[in-house]
Amino acid sequence: MTDHIYKHIEITGTSPDSIEAAVGAAVARAHRSVRHMRWFEVLDTRGHIQDGRVAQWQVTIKIGFTLEE
Amino acid sequence: MTDHIYKHIEITGTSPDSIEAAVGAAVARAHRSVRHMRWFEVLDTRGHIQDGRVAQWQVTIKIGFTLEE
Amino acid sequence: MTDHIYKHIEITGTSPDSIEAAVGAAVARAHRSVRHMRWFEVLDTRGHIQDGRVAQWQVTIKIGFTLEE
Amino acid sequence: MTDHIYKHIEITGTSPDSIEAAVGAAVARAHRSVRHMRWFEVLDTRGHIQDGRVAQWQVTIKIGFTLEE
Amino acid sequence: MTDHIYKHIEITGTSPDSIEAAVGAAVARAHRSVRHMRWFEVLDTRGHIQDGRVAQWQVTIKIGFTLEE
Amino acid sequence: MTDHIYKHIEITGTSPDSIEAAVGAAVARAHRSVRHMRWFEVLDTRGHIQDGRVAQWQVTIKIGFTLEE
Amino acid sequence: MTDHIYKHIEITGTSPDSIEAAVGAAVARAHRSVRHMRWFEVLDTRGHIQDGRVAQWQVTIKIGFTLEE
Amino acid sequence: MTDHIYKHIEITGTSPDSIEAAVGAAVARAHRSVRHMRWFEVLDTRGHIQDGRVAQWQVTIKIGFTLEE
Amino acid sequence: MTDHIYKHIEITGTSPDSIEAAVGAAVARAHRSVRHMRWFEVLDTRGHIQDGRVAQWQVTIKIGFTLEE
Amino acid sequence: MTDHIYKHIEITGTSPDSIEAAVGAAVARAHRSVRHMRWFEVLDTRGHIQDGRVAQWQVTIKIGFTLEE
Amino acid sequence: MTDHIYKHIEITGTSPDSIEAAVGAAVARAHRSVRHMRWFEVLDTRGHIQDGRVAQWQVTIKIGFTLEE
Amino acid sequence: MTDHIYKHIEITGTSPDSIEAAVGAAVARAHRSVRHMRWFEVLDTRGHIQDGRVAQWQVTIKIGFTLEE
């Protein structure tokens, strides 16, 4: 088993549609500047309300990625 | 930046379909008696099981709304 | 009100599609060996990332079931 | 399974005698203005001390009740 | 020792100046509709940032008040 | 000091009468299938409300027992 | 309102009978060396099991007392 | 780096004016009987309400001090 | 509502004067290298003690800022 | 990525020597009856004291293992 | 089963070598002034860094000891 | 006392041997790109199991370092 070192970052994704889409948006945005992402953990699920319905899902995740040797 | 005061209430919505639908049901019901709702936070996600499948999603949220001046 | 005794188990379901599907997979698998399951509670929502997108949802739940008299 | 919506309130009952009596006092008082109460959860157990003995039990509970359609 | 029953509400006060002023604003606003308030507990201290400085303090408190007999 | 290994299970006992009786019911039921139980810890105290009074106490405990060599 | 200073100690009382009796034993023992005790908070409720029944309740409390001027 | 041993005590200071003054009162009072105090951590911020305003701030801190060799 | 992505960083500011000044110092320092900061949350309030008084406030905050498209 | 289902158990290992040895003892004992163990997480580190030294390390871990198809 | 009363203290031990040695240092120091120590629980594991390596382990434990009759 | 500003990062080190070695690996790797590291705190201790023994320790730490003026 290779002894990697992992770093974590915390990021909030948003979506008008679903929790899964908000997480996906966070991961996709992080992918533009972070390499070797491996896993995430949901820390917090929130949202905005407008006119008696959920207008936006806001999901905060912690992402772990491998640091290169 | 206007210095509003916010009050919070805690409510559980239910749905046979999804977490998002259970949250939506809670927000829609609160909308009938609470004005100026701004945001929510998911506190707890539970459900009932029947015949080896999820029969009902039960999601507890905290809702924040602006108190009128 | 009948005074049942409940036991709890902790299980992680996985799915490439959604949080709801991961919970459903955990409940369906437990159903093969546990009888009288009543409720669940989501403890943890995690996942694997591949190529900048969520490849797998991993949701840990606690399941409560009635112990037979 | 009917898809009810539940609201929660937080209340502290007190009693010179026991934890159970303090919870009972909170539930009885809430019953005067809240209908359709279903369950409670103990959040906090405290008390006052006088002359080297417990003079009052103070138990904070969260009560859940069904919102009418 | 009188055996009162207490109810709790959760409220967020805001201020451009300090944590104490945000708590004071929350208490003053609640005072307009709630009687017999006794104590508070700070649950959360947040704020808004503008132009590299704190533009608004947002402090969430739980307030306990005596229910009348 | 003997170096035992302990396993933990989580179980909910119920009683119409008291917290102590609900814990006792959980321990007595577990005793029918688990040997060498040593200790418990209360994790959660809940209950059902009917007609403005506590109809059932529901106490969840973690039980530790020695695994045989 | 007098501006007292309070110190806290943490202590575990035990009893074969009930949670209330275990708390009472802790308070009575502390009373032999600590003056001006005002309040307590239950931190932890545990116990020993013997022969399939609860043999001892062990309740850990935090006690607050006024420091003399 | 010297290998000191530290002990911790928990204390609540009060002030009519501010959180900082309540912490300062707790530290000043502890200074009368504890030597070599090094740091503190705020555990809890509460207060009393009178006539719709904060009458007293009550801040609980943990203080660490070096034990003498 | 625009679907922004937010990143979070954790930073500790210090001040000899107050909690507010320590938070302000952290925000001002972060402003030199981070753009589009929106909000903060206080995670931890600590300090150093010298000669029986608070010599330094140390406040750890989480800062959220918008990631540019 | 294969969509496995995982079950978790909680177990306490003990050792007179070290935290690592206590975890190793728990894993080795579980290995006698549980197959396909994948990972563990340390939940709690405790111990017994005798004659002013640590006589036994007691480490509670959660173990995750794959359920067979 | 004898109904003892236990008191708890919180103490931080340090060591350049290991977590176990830091706990041992805390227990050994407490042994000089506290009798009848029974158990400990690790609350926090921290340390100092110098020149890119761990220069000191700092482990905070809670110690429980029997109060004499 | 100099009023520094500190930033925190979260990193997971791994080792086949011990918790201390896993922390040391995380600190050593961070040392290659972060200057002025001062302290760490252990957040999480996990590991992989293979063939009934611990194959890898995975320890997540938060590292604090001074930001340069």
As a dihedral over the C-alpha atoms of residue E29, residue E35, residue E37, residue E42, rounded to 10 degrees, the angle is -30
Chain L residues with CB-CB distance to J under 8 A?
18-19, 44-49, 52-54, 57
Nearest CA in chain H to G6: H12
Nearest CA in chain E to H56: E39
Contacts of G12 in chain K (CB under 8 A): 5-8, 64
Contact state of H23 with I54 under an 8 Å Cβ cutoff: yes
- The confidence score (pLDDT) of residue K53 equals 98
- The confidence score (pLDDT) of residue G25 equals 97
Q: Cβ-count burial of H41 within 10 angstroms (0-12 exposed, 13-18 middle, 19+ buried)? A: middle
Confidence grade of residue E9 (pLDDT, cut at 50, 70, 90): very high
Contact state of A49 with B28 under an 8 Å Cβ cutoff: no
Is residue H9's pLDDT more than 90? yes
| Beta bridge mates, C47 | A40, C57
Write the single-letter amino acid at H5. Answer: I
Least Cα separation, residue F53 to chain D (angstroms): 6
- The confidence score (pLDDT) of residue B49 equals 98
Helix segments in B1-69, DSSP class H: 19-31
Among residues F55, F64, F56, the alpha carbon closest in space to that of F5 is found at: F64
Chain I contact partners (≥3 CB pairs within 8 A): A, E, H, L
Contacts of K5 in chain G (CB under 8 A): 11-14, 25-26, 29
HEC string of chain H equals CCCCCEEEEEEEEEECCCHHHHHHHHHHHHHCCCCCEEEEEEEEEEEEEECCEEEEEEEEEEEEEECCC
Mean pLDDT of chain A: 96
Interface size A-I, in CB pairs within 8 Å, comes to 32
CA atoms within 13 A on the CB side of K47: 24
* pLDDT tens, position by position, D26-52: 999 999 999 999 999 999 999 999 999
Span B31-40, average pLDDT: 96
Q: Mean pLDDT, consecutive 10-residue segments, chain J of 69 residues? A: 90 98 98 96 98 98 92
- The confidence score (pLDDT) of residue C3 equals 79
Residue E26 in contact with residue E62, Cβ under 8 Å?
no
Q: Which residues, including other chains, have CB under 8 Å from residue L1's CB and lie 6 or more apart? A: I16, I48, I50, I55, I56
Confidence grade of residue E1 (pLDDT, cut at 50, 70, 90): low
d(CA K28, CA G13): 26
- The confidence score (pLDDT) of residue A1 equals 67
* Helices and strands per DSSP (H, E), number in chain I: 1, 3
Confidence grade of residue C64 (pLDDT, cut at 50, 70, 90): very high
Is residue B1's pLDDT more than 70? no
> For residues D7 and A68, which has the higher predicted lDDT (pLDDT)?
D7
The two three-digit tokens of residue J40, written as one number: 């563990």
> Hey, of E45, E50, E58, E61, which one would you mutate to test binding to chain I, going by the most I CBs within 10 A of its CB?
E45
> For residues B1 and A42, which has the higher predicted lDDT (pLDDT)?
A42
Chain E residues with CB-CB distance to D under 8 A?
1, 3-8, 62, 64, 67
Interface size G-H, in CB pairs within 8 Å, comes to 32
Q: Which residues, including other chains, have CB under 8 Å from residue L69's CB and lie 6 or more apart? A: none
Is residue E54's pLDDT more than 70? yes
Chain I touches chain C, with at least 3 Cβ pairs below 8 Å, answer no
Chain A touches chain D, with at least 3 Cβ pairs below 8 Å, answer no
| Identity of the residue in E1, E5, E6 whose CB atom sits nearest the CB atom of D55 | E1
Span F44-59, average pLDDT: 98
Contact state of B5 with E15 under an 8 Å Cβ cutoff: no
Is residue E67's pLDDT more than 70? yes
HEC string of chain A equals CCCCCEEEEEEEEEECCCHHHHHHHHHHHHHCCCCCEEEEEEEEEEEEEECCEEEEEEEEEEEEEECCC
The two three-digit tokens of residue I41, written as one number: 């949350």
Is residue G1's pLDDT more than 70? no
Chain A residues with CB-CB distance to I under 8 A?
9-16, 25-26, 29, 48, 50, 55-56, 60
| Identity of the residue in B10, B11, B14 whose CB atom sits nearest the CB atom of D3 | B14
Is residue E68's pLDDT more than 90? no
- The confidence score (pLDDT) of residue J1 equals 67
Is residue H11's pLDDT more than 70? yes
- ipTM value, please give it: 0.96
Q: What whole-number percentage of chain C has pLDDT above 70?
A: 97
Q: What whole-number percentage of chain K has pLDDT above 90?
A: 93
d(CA A47, CA K10): 40
